[in-house]
């Protein structure tokens, strides 16, 4: 299949800029730089790229070709249909692994679209082996072990059942053996070292194959966790690998929401559903065009902020589905008229800071941003527009 066309200098997508209530700018140059940062950190291992959930909400059709040009040749998605869609935008020689493996009956779709399943259970291995037998050929697959997270992967009991069957692995080419760390974002947690040792012990029961353990946070635990392939995801999109050190990743997204209306309220007034915000003095309030349908959790107003340049402006009252209220009393009137833009994500206030205010993580902020924005994809030198 052909490559997708090169990303232009500034590609606009989504709702027209003039009609959209908010503008989401995605810096592809920053994603490329972040890929190269983790690639250098894991020198000696292949650096794959995780583009599941539509590249963490940022658009896999645009992100994956940029990562491929930066050197990525292996991609990970969660579902078969994500892999089918991704195939349209990357080179035929690039590998696509499906983390969930195929649902029952979807095995042939993996073969048809050149997707490599991650086999997580005794049943998936049996179905993949049966398909190989019907096709009369060996089929590639990754094999995942559960090393302590109790989520995906073969258990010790599964491995024993397969070992007891002389044909247990017949027809399956194990091109990757992998597991996933549960506590890698906390470098002091001993669970990561325990999982590493357990993976090595389980892998020793199979013929040699490339090994993978580290995703974004695991890469920053050091070379002992890199093995043959690393799988960065959130770090590519600007999320901090852990909370114990300065974030080495470049910010990727900027979200600007339009002011729809302003008003002055006083001590007898309330703002928003439930009238939960009641000012103690006269305040200027702006209603802006972003709400929980756009990825901003309803309770986030407790500590949430919008920004005018470097000036923080508190979000007040409850966040609604399509809007929220911001106290603009201390901002210049001339810069906060209807139609003006306030930042909700940006250089002064990134996804990790917004996540802390909402009591969640940067991953959830990114993947919840929704599709009602005008999206601008900036590349090839236009990254200065994010600063």
Confidence band, pLDDT 50/70/90 cuts, at residue 301: low
Q: Could you give the C-alpha distances from 25 to 167, 242, 350, in angstroms and in order?
A: 52, 24, 13
Question: Contact 333/254 with Cβ under 8 angstroms?
Answer: no
| Whole-prediction pTM | 0.91
- Does the annotation list 321 as a binding residue? yes
Please enumerate, as own/partner, the contacts of 185-194 that have beta carbons within 8 Å and a separation of 24 or more: 185/217, 185/241, 185/242, 185/243, 186/242, 186/244, 187/220, 187/221, 187/242, 187/244, 188/244, 191/148, 192/218, 192/221, 192/225, 194/147, 194/148
Give me the chain's average pLDDT, please.
92
CB within 8 Å of 156: residues ≥ 6 apart:
202
Q: Are 314 and 277 contacting, i.e. CB atoms less than 8 angstroms apart?
A: no
Query: What are the tens digits of pLDDT across the range 47-70?
Result: 999 999 999 999 999 999 999 999
Domains of the chain: 28-237 (3.20.20.10), 253-371 (2.40.37.10)
- Kindly provide the residue ranges of all beta strands, DSSP E only, lying in 122-281, ordered along the sequence: 139-144, 172-178, 211-215, 229-231, 253-265
Each residue of 325-335: pLDDT tens digit? 999 999 999 99
pLDDT digits (tens, 9 = 90+) for 231-263: 999 999 999 999 888 999 999 999 999 999 999
Q: Catalytic residue numbers? A: 52, 273
* Residue that is written with structure tokens 């892998």 in the block: 203
- Does the annotation place 202 within a ligand binding site? no
| Predicted confidence band of residue 189 (pLDDT cuts 50, 70, 90) | very high
């Amino acid at each position: 299949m052909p490559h997708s066309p090169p990303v232009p200098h500034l590609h606009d997508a989504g709702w027209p800029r003039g009609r959209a209530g908010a503008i989401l700018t995605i810096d592809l140059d920053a994603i490329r730089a972040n890929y190269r940062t983790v690639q250098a950190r894991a020198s000696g291992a292949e650096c794959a790229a995780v583009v599941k959930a539509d590249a963490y909400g940022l658009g896999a059709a645009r992100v994956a070709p940029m990562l491929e040009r930066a050197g990525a040749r292996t991609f990970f998605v969660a579902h078969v249909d994500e892999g089918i869609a991704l195939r349209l935008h990357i080179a035929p020689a690039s590998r696509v692994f499906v983390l969930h493996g195929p649902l029952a009956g979807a095995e042939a779709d993996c073969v048809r679209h050149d997707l490599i399943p991650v086999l997580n259970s005794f049943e998936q291995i049996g179905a993949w082996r049966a398909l190989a037998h019907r096709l009369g050929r060996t089929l590639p697959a990754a094999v995942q072990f559960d090393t302590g997270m109790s989520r995906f992967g073969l258990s010790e009991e599964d491995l024993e059942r397969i070992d007891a069957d002389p044909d247990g692995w017949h027809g399956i080419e194990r091109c990757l053996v992998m597991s996933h760390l549960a506590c890698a974002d906390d470098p002091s947690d001993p669970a990561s070292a325990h999982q590493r040792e357990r993976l090595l012990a389980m892998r020793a029961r199979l013929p040699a194959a490339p090994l993978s353990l580290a995703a974004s946070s695991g890469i920053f635990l050091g070379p002992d966790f890199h093995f043959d392939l690393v799988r960065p995801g959130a770090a590519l999109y600007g999320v901090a690998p852990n909370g114990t050190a300065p974030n080495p990743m470049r910010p990727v997204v900027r979200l600007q929401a339009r002011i729809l209306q302003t008003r002055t309220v006083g001590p007898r007034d309330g703002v928003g559903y439930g009238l939960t915000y009641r000012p103690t003095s006269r305040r200027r309030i702006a209603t802006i065009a972003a709400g929980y349908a756009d990825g901003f959790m309803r309770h986030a107003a407790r500590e949430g902020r919008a920004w005018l340049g470097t000036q923080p402006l508190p979000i007040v009252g409850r966040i609604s589905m399509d809007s929220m209220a911001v106290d603009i009393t201390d901002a210049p009137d001339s810069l906060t008229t209807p139609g003006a833009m306030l930042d909700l994500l940006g250089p002064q206030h990134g996804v990790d800071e917004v996540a802390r205010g909402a009591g969640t993580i940067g991953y959830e902020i990114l993947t919840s941003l929704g599709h009602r924005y005008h999206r601008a994809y900036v590349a090839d030198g236009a990254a200065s527009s994010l600063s």
